[in-house]
C-alpha cells in the first residue's frame, strides 16, 4: 500500500466518521479502526487531529464542487444551469446518510475554537458564492441575485438536514425559479 493510498483511506474514513457523528464525537481510535491504518501512520500524515479535519474539509470541498459542476454541465441554457444547482441539492439530500452541510456543522462545532477550520469553511462558502455569481452573470442577471440564490441553497441544506424532508430542495428550486424570472 502506497503512501497516497494510505492518505486517501484515512481521509475517506475520517470524512465518513466526522460527518456522520460530529467531529468531537469521533476519536482517533475510531479513525484507525475505520481506515485500517495505524495511529502511528495517521500521525505521520497528519500531525494533529486538526490537520486531519482540514484535510477532510478540503476533500469535501472537492467532492462538492465536482458535484455542482457536473450538475451544471448537464445543460447549456444559462437559466437551467442556475437551477441545476438545486437539482444537485435534491440528489444529495436524498442520500441515506445526509446530515446537512459538513462545513456548517464543522463551523458550529469548531469555528470558535479553531481559526483554521473557520477559515476553511469561509473559503468554501465564498467559493460557492463566486460560482453562483458567475452563473448569474452568464445568465445576464443582476449582481444582487447571486447572494439571494446562495442563501436559498444554504437554507435548503440546513432545513433538509434538521427536519429531514428532502423536499426542501424543491421549495428552494421553486423560489429560485421565481427570483430568476423576476430578475431577468
Contact (Cβ atoms closer than 8 angstroms) between residue 146 and residue 129: yes
C-alpha grid cell, residue 90: 435534491
Please list the alpha-helical segments (H only) found in 3-114: 3-21, 28-35, 39-45, 49-73, 78-93, 102-110
Query: How big is the site for a second copy, counted in residues (CB under 8 A)?
Result: 50
Q: Does 65 bind a second copy (CB under 8 A)?
A: no
Q: Using the rule CB under 7 A, is 25 a contact of DNA?
A: yes
Candidate residues 20, 48, 63, 116; the one interacting with DNA per rule CB under 7 A: 48
Does position 168 interact with a second copy (CB under 8 A)? The reply is: yes
Compute the Cα dihedral for 38, 44, 45, 49 and give only its sign.
positive
SS3 category, 4: helix
Residues that bind a second copy (CB under 8 A): 20-22, 24-25, 99-101, 103-113, 121-122, 125-126, 129, 144, 147-148, 150-156, 158-159, 161-164, 167-168, 171-172, 174-175, 178-179, 182-183
Residues that bind DNA (CB under 7 A): 1, 3, 6, 24-29, 32, 36-41, 43-44, 47-50
Amino acid at each position: 500500500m502506497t503512501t497516497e493510498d494510505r492518505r486517501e483511506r484515512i481521509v475517506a474514513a475520517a470524512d465518513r466518521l466526522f460527518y456522520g457523528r460530529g467531529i468531537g464525537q469521533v476519536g482517533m481510535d475510531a479513525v484507525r479502526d475505520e481506515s485500517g491504518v495505524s495511529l502511528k501512520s495517521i500521525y505521520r500524515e497528519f500531525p494533529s487531529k486538526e490537520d486531519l479535519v482540514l484535510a477532510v474539509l478540503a476533500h469535501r470541498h472537492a467532492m462538492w464542487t465536482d458535484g455542482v459542476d457536473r450538475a451544471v454541465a448537464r445543460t447549456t441554457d444559462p437559466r437551467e444551469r442556475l437551477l441545476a444547482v438545486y437539482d444537485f441539492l435534491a440528489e444529495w439530500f436524498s442520500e441515506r446518510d445526509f446530515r446537512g452541510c459538513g462545513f456548517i456543522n464543522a463551523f458550529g462545532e469548531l469555528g470558535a475554537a479553531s481559526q483554521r477550520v473557520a477559515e476553511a469553511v469561509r473559503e468554501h462558502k465564498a467559493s460557492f458564492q463566486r460560482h453562483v455569481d458567475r452563473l448569474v452573470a452568464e445568465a445576464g442577471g443582476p449582481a444582487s441575485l447571486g447572494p439571494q440564490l446562495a442563501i436559498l441553497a444554504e437554507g435548503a441544506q440546513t432545513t433538509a438536514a434538521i427536519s429531514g424532508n428532502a423536499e426542501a430542495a424543491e421549495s428552494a428550486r421553486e423560489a429560485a425559479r421565481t427570483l430568476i424570472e423576476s430578475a431577468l
